Amino acid sequence: MAKKKLKLPLAYRPVGLVLGWAGGALAGLAFRATWKAVRHEDEAPEPLDENRGWGEILLAAAVQGALFAVVRSAVDRAGATAVERSIGVWPAKVGDDHD
């Protein structure tokens, strides 16, 4: 069984772009705050930092990825809910498999 793709109406796309940008910025702030609280460091390690070990690099990537996914989902869901409440239509519909 193929998973159906969600299509966004053209009118919602600019809203989605703004929400995506805002969500990315919010996720970045959340990651920096989380890393500072967990590791007591202002900056997370970069993948090419030769002074950091694999575990630390991968931990930072996993935390960052998880936070970005959660924030993106929350922002997308909140935006869709707000659109539905304001105009009475859910902004995404399930497309057919022939795209």
pLDDT band at 59 (very low <50, low <70, confident <90, very high): very high
- Cα 65 from Cα 59, distance rounded (Å): 10
Q: Which pLDDT score is estimated for 65?
A: 95
- Map tokens 């920096």 to a residue: 32
> What confidence tens digit (pLDDT) does each residue in 38-47 have?
899 999 999 9
pLDDT band at 4 (very low <50, low <70, confident <90, very high): low
> What confidence tens digit (pLDDT) does each residue in 7-58 have?
667 767 787 888 889 999 999 999 999 999 989 999 999 999 999 999 999 9
What DSSP assignment string belongs to 6-56?
EE--GGGHHHHHHHHHHHHHHHHHHHHHHHHHHH--SSPPPTT-TTS-HHH
Q: Which two tokens stand for residue 76?
A: 């997308």
